[in-house]
Amino acid sequence: MSSEAAWLAILFLVIALFYASVGQAGASGYLAVMGLFGLAPAAMKTTALSLNVLVAGIGTLQFWRTGQLSWRTFYPFAILGFPFSLLGGALQLPAHVYYPVVGVILILSALQMVRSALKPAAEQQLPPSEPPFLPALLVGAGIGFLSGMTGTGGGIFLAPTILAMNWVSLRKTAAVTAAYNLLNSAAALAGAYSILNAIPESLPVWLLAVGIGGAAGAFIGSRYLPDSALRYILACILVVAGIKLLLS
């Protein structure tokens, strides 16, 4: 294994730990560090989706076991999210388009993280209401297509949308986001079958790394850590990587 692959494994583990602690799977973080290392767009997309499936699966299982995952809340986002993510995954953008698009998404993700960290606790304690069916359907479709096309799971956009609309509680938002990430990442990966030969040879090692990081993060974050500091750290990483991709 090359030194670059080893460094990526370490960074992926840390990213998975941080993201899982705040209910995310980490695709935007994986894309960020792969962008810093200069990986090709096809390799970035397939790798991020593969890692996302594993970490999101771990998170979904944990939330299901604790009774936090509400299928009534989840399924409206999933109905169109799955097919549109499959469609987006089948689209392979050229490098001169992919890098700027992902760069903008990373910077927007960072802004969403900072926004959620700055949100007053009192706002987060307002009684939530269930998402209306049609708006949830449209949100799921739009985020699904964008996430499939770029190699992100979509949760980084779904979570702040749900919280901004005050549809469910913070913990249940994390549960819905984990399940949405799992479903959409799997769909996008299936849609990207034509570029699966771009998956790096080091992927099994990276999967092991994010599996360890994701399990540890989900355990620690759900019990002990406030997430505001982690969100600030991740936001800085995303901004640096996003700017680098925009300048590529």
123: three-class secondary structure by DSSP = helix
Q: Which two tokens stand for residue 196?
A: 């699966």
Q: pLDDT by residue for the chain (248 residues), tens digit each?
A: 789 999 999 999 999 998 887 778 888 889 989 988 989 888 898 899 999 999 999 988 888 887 888 888 899 999 999 999 989 888 878 878 888 888 888 888 788 778 776 765 555 555 667 889 999 999 999 999 988 888 887 887 788 788 778 888 777 888 898 899 999 999 888 887 766 677 889 999 999 999 999 999 877 766 665 656 666 766 776 787 788 778 86
pTM reported for the whole predicted model: 0.82
Say if CB 33 and CB 11 are below 8 A apart: yes
Sign of the C-alpha dihedral computed for residues 65, 59, 23 and 69 taken in this order: negative
The predicted structure's pLDDT at residue 157: 79
The predicted structure's pLDDT at residue 145: 92
Say if CB 23 and CB 174 are below 8 A apart: yes
Give how far Cα 192 sits from Cα of 150, 200, 226, Å: 11, 15, 36
Dihedral of CA atoms 12, 173, 161, 82 in degrees, nearest 10, equals 70
The predicted structure's pLDDT at residue 92: 79
Tell me, letter by letter, the H, E, C secondary structure of 99-119.
HHHHHHHHHHHHHHHHHHHHC
Q: Which two tokens stand for residue 34?
A: 């792969």
